[in-house]
Amino acid sequence: MDQQFLTELKGIVGEQAVLENEPMSRHTTFRVGGPADMLIQPPKEKLAEILKLCGQYGQSYCVIGNGSNLLVGDKGIRGLVIEMVSREDEFSIDGEMMTVGAGMLLSKAAHLAAGVGLSGMEFAAGIPGSIGGAVVMNAGAYGGEMKDILRTVTVLDGAGREKRLTAEELELGYRKSCILKNGYLVTEAVVGLKKDDREQIRARMEELKQKRIEKQPLEYPSAGSTFKRPEGYFAGKLIMDAGLRGYRVGGAQISEKHCGFVINTGNATASDIRRLMQEVSDEVERQFGVRLEPEVKLLGEF
């Protein structure tokens, strides 16, 4: 690690704000992952300066949100991890438009919208990710997805220059956008919602919450749906039909409650989870000729 880079980084965010050799198991919903060389949680106004510094020193970095769609390797992440966290002042409402900082949790944004009688985010109330991550992956559930409500997204490019993109420019598709391929960092999003009765909004959110509790293994660490939905199929049903319900590798297991989820039963390693995903994909392909692709993003060294 370049010591001059580290010194200048600490000058930007403060010495105590740079966490060295930080276990990524503390920052992912799978609760696995080795140490990152450095991890910071900077305020939005410092991001451009940080990206420029990384460019100046040729320092690699990656950006995470709530870590809800990540599998970080047991050997950790070399370089800098920028973790976007929720800040209370990164939220505002103008009529039916809501501006939200990238670090805010989807669930919190949905509840804030419901609190002022704005509908459209009910589908997102139970998704454990952040706004930024949801934009990158065009997150969705129960018939709704981010592309239905996104109006504009503010990003920084690799040089720290700010751009504002329309929903059309984001190239939103099934669990994808142009963010990753262009190396953008999401700083905030504007979503368009609709006025509705607060109690009706909350009732819909409660209904979806109960569906999640009934059907998903929320009591275990996981990254949500582990595999993308193959065209014409459902990943969970293919896994179940392949006889893999409850299949285990070390501490990783195919959930018996919902076969589309890989769970950490308590002592899984990232290698256990990765191997389980590989073996399940291989067996489903062997039986049905369909290759399951991970929805979970793999990061770091395994």
Tens digits of residue pLDDT in 130-142: 999 999 999 988 8
Same fold, 3-83 and 217-299: no
Assess whether pLDDT exceeds 90 at residue 269. Answer: yes
Distances (CA, A) of 251 to 236, 254, 264, 272, 276: 20, 10, 6, 7, 10
Residue type, 186: V
Domain-wise residue ranges, the chain? 3-83, 91-200, 217-299
Please tell me the number of Cα atoms within 13 Å of 38 on its side-chain side: 23
CB atoms within 10 A of CB 131: 32
Top pLDDT among 142 and 186 is at: 186
CB 86 within 8 A of CB 103: yes
Residue partners of 107: CB distance under 8 A and separation at least 6: 124, 125, 126, 127, 128
Residue-wise pLDDT tens digits, 83-136: 999 877 789 999 999 999 999 999 999 999 999 999 999 999 988 899 999 999
pLDDT at residue 89, as a whole number: 76
Calculate mean pLDDT across residues 49-73: 96
At a CB cut-off of 8 Å and minimum separation 6, what does 287 contact? 241, 242
Q: Which of 22, 83, 145, 295 is catalytic?
A: 295
- 175, 198, 202, 245: the active-site residue: 175
Whether domain 91-200 has CATH 3.40.50.20: the reply is no
Active site residue 49: no
The answer to whether 175 is a known catalytic residue is: yes
% of the chain beyond a pLDDT of 90: 92
Domain 217-299, architecture per CATH: Alpha-Beta Complex (3.90)
231 in active site: no
Catalytic, out of 107, 222, 225, 255: 225
- The domain made up of 3-83 has a fold known as 3.30.43
